[in-house]
Amino acid sequence: PYMGRPLALLTADGRDVGDILVLKNVSAERVAVRALTIITIASGVIVGLLLFGLFYIILGRIERKLERTRNSWISEIAERKRVMEELAGHNDFMKNVFESLTHPFYVIDAKTYRILMGNTTTGLADQPTSITCHELTHHSASPCNGHHNICPLIEARRSRKPVTVEHIHFDTQGNEYIV
């Protein structure tokens, strides 16, 4: 194939005498353009396939990791539910044991003297939720003290041994009784 273009043919004094047709053989250029187009398309397809493969591999790894994490969480949730059910059973058992005692029984926070739990015999149901042992049993704002009124909690913490003491306590009606 040829590509041509007419040019004006002028004399030395500038008169137009006609046109001349300049032709150029463009076969090699067309072949080169066609080859370049094919190379560009092929390169684009190869790069696209490589990127697709790379993303496929990366996304596959991410998906597998997410699946492992999800399965781990499902197992952990199931284990936590099992433990919570077991703890609820232990809690019910402990409440039954506490309630089976015929004498007052308390669980006391050793640092704050707050009663954390107690059986029905303690009369705690009618008391504020954040009451100390000395407020409930001695109607006192401070822990037991003195030689005749030793605080068993302070003594047990000091000696790191079991302690037995006798105290005058008050029941829910305000009556004194010795413990």
Report which secondary-structure segment, H or E, holds 4. strand 2-10
pTM of the model: 0.50
Q: How much is the average pLDDT of 105-121?
A: 89
How much of the chain exceeds pLDDT 70, in percent? Answer: 96
Beta strands in the chain (DSSP E): 2-10, 16-25, 106-108, 115-118, 168-170, 176-178
Query: Please, which pLDDT band fits residue 4 given cuts at 50, 70 and 90?
Result: confident
- The alpha carbon dihedral of 79, 80, 83, 85 has a sign of negative
Beta strands in 36-170 (DSSP E): 106-108, 115-118, 168-170
Q: How much is the average pLDDT of 41-51?
A: 97
Q: How much is the average pLDDT of 135-155?
A: 83
Query: Please, which pLDDT band fits residue 82 given cuts at 50, 70 and 90?
Result: very high
Would you state the pLDDT for residue 51? 97
Mean pLDDT of the chain: 89
pLDDT at 128 over 70: no
Cβ neighbours around 110 below 10 Å, total: 10
Query: Please, which pLDDT band fits residue 136 given cuts at 50, 70 and 90?
Result: confident
Pair of tokens at residue 2: 């040829």
